[in-house]
Structure 1
Amino acid sequence: MEYVRTALYLDFDNVFTGMFNLDPEVAIQFASDPGAWLRRLSTTSTTDASRRWLILRCYLNPSGWVNHRDPDGKAERLYFSRFRPSFVRAGFEVIDCPRYSATKNGADIRIVIDAVDALSADTLYEEFVIASGDSDMAPLLQRLRRADRRTVIVSPADAAEAFTSIADQVLGSRQLLALVSGEHVDFDDDADMTADTEGEDCDGGVTHSDGVSVDHDEAYMSFRSKVLREYNEAPAPINMATLAGQLRSELGDVIAHTDWFGHGGFARAVESLNLPNLCMSQHYLWDKIRHTPPDAVGQVVALPEPVERLTELFSLPRLPSGWWPAIYQTLSAYAHSHQFNLAHCISWSRDQLQTQGLAVSRKVIEVVLHGTANGGCPLYRQPSPTEVEIGMAFVKSMLSRADQVGLAFTYEEEAAVRAWLGAQLEDNAGGAS
C-alpha cells in the first residue's frame, strides 16, 4: 500500500484551549504553523504506510478568544480568527462555527455529520482522525468502528475513557505537544496508572550521552546480553524502571527509534527473550526458582469509599495517600526552578519522584497537570504556584468534574477525598495565594 487514505476533522476551539491551558507557547505554535505538525502526523503512529490527507477540515469560532500576555507582560485577548490564515495555507478547509449558546458552537455536530457523509462517499476513507476531546462524539467513533475504519483521537484534554477506549490510537497531551514541538512521540509508559506500595513503571527517558549510532541487530543482541546478565546475577527481584533506564542510557537512541525493538515497550521486549523461570509484575521481574516474589505483587492500594468512587469514575491512579503531596511538592519545585515546558516537566518530575522511591509514571504526572490547570493553577503561572496551591487546584478540579456528572459528596466524604489526595481546604491553606 502506498499510503493510507485519511480524513482529519479538527475542533479547533476544543484542542487549542486544551493545549493553551497546559502550555500556551506550544498551543500558539500549534495554531500558527499547522503544516509542520501535520507533516509529522502523516508518519506518526501509522499502520502500513504514511497518511495521505484527503480531507482536512478545521472547525473554528472566529470570535473565540483566550486571555494571553504579550512579550511585555500586557494582558490581551488572543482571538482564534488570527490563526485562520495559517490553516488555510496548510491546506485545511476552515469552517466557521460561531457560538449557538454560551458554551456550544456546534463544531461537534458538524464533525459528526461530515464524517458520516464521508462514509457513504465514493472514496474509501480508511482512517478517520478526530482532533477533539469532546466525549459527545463517542457515538461517531462507534459508528466508524462498525464500518471497519481505523480511528485516531487527538486530544490534549483529559478526555473520558468511554470516548478514548473506542479509538484504535489516542494522541494525548504529551504526544500532541511532542508532535508540535518536533520531538519524538513516545507512546510507552501510558497504560499503567496503578501503583503497588513500591516499584515503578517500565520506562525511562535517558538518551545515549555520546550519540553513537548503533546497528539494530547489534543493539538487540546487546540488550539481550545485558538483561541476561542482570537477571542471572540479581540476588532479588529487579526493579523494571531502574533496569529500563539503565538500558536506555547504555543503548541510546535505538531504543526510541525502534520502540524497544518493535515490541512497543520494555516489558514486552523482555518477554521476547524467553528468560527461564521468568515472572513479571507491573514493576518487577524475577526468577521464580531463585527469588522470593516482591511483597507488593498482587496488592492493590485500598482506597476510602468516596475516593474509590472518584477513582472509578475518572480512572484516577490508585496511589497511596502519602504520594500525592510528594507529587505536588515536586511539581512546585519544577515550576520554581525551570521555564515551563510540559514534556520536560513530566519527565523531570517522574525522575525526581523515582529517586524518592515513588513509582509515579509520566501518565500520573500528566493527570495531575491537567487537573491543576483546570483547577485554575497552571504551572506556568507567575508567581509560580506552591505545593499547597497545586494540591488545592487538583482536588478542586476533580470535585468539580464529579459534581458536573452528578456524583454528589457529603461534607464528610469531600473531607475524606481531600485528606486522601493531600489537599487542604482553602480557609486552612495558610499563606497560600
Structure 2
Amino acid sequence: MEHVRAALYLDFDNVFSGLYKIDPDVAIQFANQPKIWLDRLAATFSPEAPRRWLVLRCYLNPAGSVSRTDPASDQTRLYFSKFRPGFVRAGFEVIDCPRYSGTKNAADIRIVVDAVDALSADTRYDEFVIASGDSDMTPLLQRLRRSDRRTMIVSPADAAEAFTTIADQVLDSQRVLALVQGESVDIDDEPDDVSAAELEGDFGVALDRDLEARQDADSRRSAAYEAFQSMVTDEYQQAAEPVNMASLAHRIRAQLGSVVSESNWFGFGSFARAVASLHLANLNMSQHLLWDADRHSQPESEGGMPRRTGLPPAVERVADQLNLPTLPQPSWPAVYRVLSDYAHTHAFNLTHCTSWARDQLREQGFGVSRSAVAFVVRGCSYGGAPLHRKPAPTAIEIGEAFIDNVISRAEAEFVLSDDEKTTIRGWLDGEREDWPGGPAG
C-alpha cells in the first residue's frame, strides 16, 4: 500500500478551546499553522503507510471566541475567524457552523452527516480522523467500525471511555501539543506504582540484538511484532494466575526498545489492542488484567467489573468511566505539589512538564507515569487552575480544581450520591488536613 486514503473532520471550536485551556501559546500555533501539524499527522501512528488526505474539513463558528489570557493585549476576546485563512491555505474546506443555541453549534451534526455520506462515496476511505472530544460522536464511530474503517480520535480532553475505546487510535492533548511543537508524540505509558521487583524482573525472552541496527523499518517492525507475539504467548501460557497488563507491557517495552513507541504498539494504538490481535485461546481482559478463562479463576469482581485492589467502589466506578489513573491515595497530593513546583519554576510546556514531574515523583518514591501526570494537568486546567496561569497555582488550588473537574465529569455520566462524592474527594485529596511542602501555601 503506497498510502492510506484518509478523511479528516475537525471540530475547530471544540479542539482549539480545549487546547487553549491547557496551553494558549501552542493552541494559537495549532490554529495559525495547521499545515505543519497536518503534515506530521500524515505519518504519525499510521501502521500501513503514510496518510494521503483526500478530505480535509474544518467546521468553525466564525463568531466563536475565547477570553484572551495575555493581560497586555488590547482585546479581551480572541475570535476564531482570524484563523480561517491559515486553514484555507493548508487545503482545508472551511465550513461555517454558527451557534444555534446558547452552547452548541452545528459542527457535530455536520461532521456526522458528512462522514456517513463519505461511506457511500465512489472513493473508499481507509481511515476517518475525527478531531473532537465530544462523546456525542460515539454513534458515528460505531457506524464507521461496522463499515470496517479505521478510526482515529484527536481529542484535547479526557473523553469518556465508551467513546475512546471504539476508536482504533486516540491522540490526546499531550500528543496533539507535541505534534504541533515538533516533539515526539510518544508518551511513556509505563504503569503507575509498579514495584521495583517488577521493573527489574527478568522476562526470560531476549530480542535479537541486531534488531535496533536494522535499517528497514518494515522489517524491523515485523521482527519486533513476532518477538512481541512470542513474549506474550509464553507469558500467557505459563502464567498460573491472571497477568498484570501494566507490568507485562513495561517488560515488553524494555525488551523491544524504541520500536514499540515508534510504531505505537505495532499500529494497534495500545498494548491491549496489540494483545487482542494475537487471538490467544480463551483470552479475557479487564483494564488491568488478562487471564485464560479455562485455566485461571476470574478476578474478584463487583457488579460484573474486575476489582482494583485497594480502591473504594466509588473511586473504582469513576476510574472505569473516566479512565482516572488508579494511583494509591498518598500519590495524589504528591502529584499536586510537584505540579505546583513546576508551575512556579518553569515556563509551561506539557511534554516537559509530564517528564519532569514523573522524575521528581520517582525521586520521592512515587511511581506515577507521564500519562497520569498529563491526566491531572488536563483536569486542573479544565477545572480552572491551569499551570500556565500567572501567578502560578498552588498545590491546593491544583488539587481542588482537579477534583472538582473529576466529579463534574463523573456526574455527567452517572448519578453520584453525596456519600460517593465525599469518598471520591477524600481519596483524591489524600484525606488531607493540609498539604505541607512546596509552594502549596
Normalising TM by the smaller chain, what interval?
Answer: 0.7 to 0.9
- 1:215 has 2:213 as partner: yes
Contact 1:4 1:126 in 2 (8 A): yes
SS at match of 2:68: strand
Q: Distance in 2 between matches of 1:429 and 1:353?
A: 15
SS at match of 1:18: helix
Partner of 2:106: 106
Partner of 2:150: 150
Contact 1:301 1:318 in 2 (8 A): no
Match of 2:428 among 421, 425, 430: 421
**CA spacing shift, 1:94–1:299, aligned 2, 3 Å:** closer
Partner of 1:400: 408
Residues 302-351 of structure 1 show CA distances to partners (whole Å, capped at 9, x for unaligned) of: 12233233223322122211110001011011101100001111111111
SS at match of 1:404: helix
**CA spacing shift, 1:339–1:75, aligned 2, 3 Å:** farther
Partner of 2:314: 306
Alignment of 1:76-87 (within 5 A): 76-87=76-87
Deviation (angstroms), 1:423: 6.6
Deviation (angstroms), 1:402: 2.4
- 1:175 has 2:183 as partner: no
Contact 2:358 2:370 in 1 (8 A): yes
Partner of 1:21: 21
Alignment of 1:221-236 (within 5 A): none
Q: Distance in 2 between matches of 1:417 and 1:264?
A: 30
Match of 1:345 among 349, 353, 358: 353
Deviation (angstroms), 1:58: 0.1
Deviation (angstroms), 1:242: 10
**CA spacing shift, 1:69–1:199, aligned 2, 3 Å:** farther
Deviation (angstroms), 1:362: 1.2
Q: Distance in 1 between matches of 2:416 and 2:179?
A: 38
Q: Distance in 2 between matches of 1:67 and 1:336?
A: 23
Contact 2:199 2:251 in 1 (8 A): no
Q: Distance in 2 between matches of 1:240 and 1:141?
A: 29
**CA spacing shift, 1:74–1:359, aligned 2, 3 Å:** farther
**CA spacing shift, 1:85–1:367, aligned 2, 3 Å:** same
Deviation (angstroms), 1:388: 0.7
Deviation (angstroms), 1:413: 3.5
Match of 1:367 among 357, 364, 375: 375
What TM-score does the superposition give when structure 2 sets the normalisation length? 0.74
Q: Distance in 1 between matches of 2:380 and 2:173?
A: 14
- 1:133 has 2:140 as partner: no
Residues 149-191 of structure 1 show CA distances to partners (whole Å, capped at 9, x for unaligned) of: 111111111111111111111111111111111112115517x
What TM-score does the superposition give when structure 1 sets the normalisation length? 0.76
Deviation (angstroms), 1:265: 9.3
Q: Distance in 1 between matches of 2:270 and 2:158?
A: 23
> Where in structure 2 are there 5+ consecutive unaligned residues?
201-211, 228-246, 273-286, 289-305
Name the aligned partner's letter for residue 427 of structure 2.
W
Q: Distance in 1 between matches of 2:265 and 2:127?
A: 26
Residues 335-372 of structure 1 show CA distances to partners (whole Å, capped at 9, x for unaligned) of: 01100001111111111111222121111111111110
> Where in structure 1 are there 5+ consecutive unaligned residues?
203-213, 225-238, 268-281, 284-297
Alignment RMSD? 3.7
**CA spacing shift, 1:324–1:132, aligned 2, 3 Å:** same
Tell me whether 350-359 or 145-154 shows the greater mean CA deviation: 350-359
Name the aligned partner's letter for residue 303 of structure 1.
L
Partner of 2:342: 334
Q: Distance in 2 between matches of 1:89 and 1:78?
A: 20
**CA spacing shift, 1:366–1:50, aligned 2, 3 Å:** same
Contact 1:200 1:360 in 2 (8 A): no
**CA spacing shift, 1:329–1:14, aligned 2, 3 Å:** same
Partner of 1:316: 324
Q: Distance in 2 between matches of 1:359 and 1:200?
A: 12
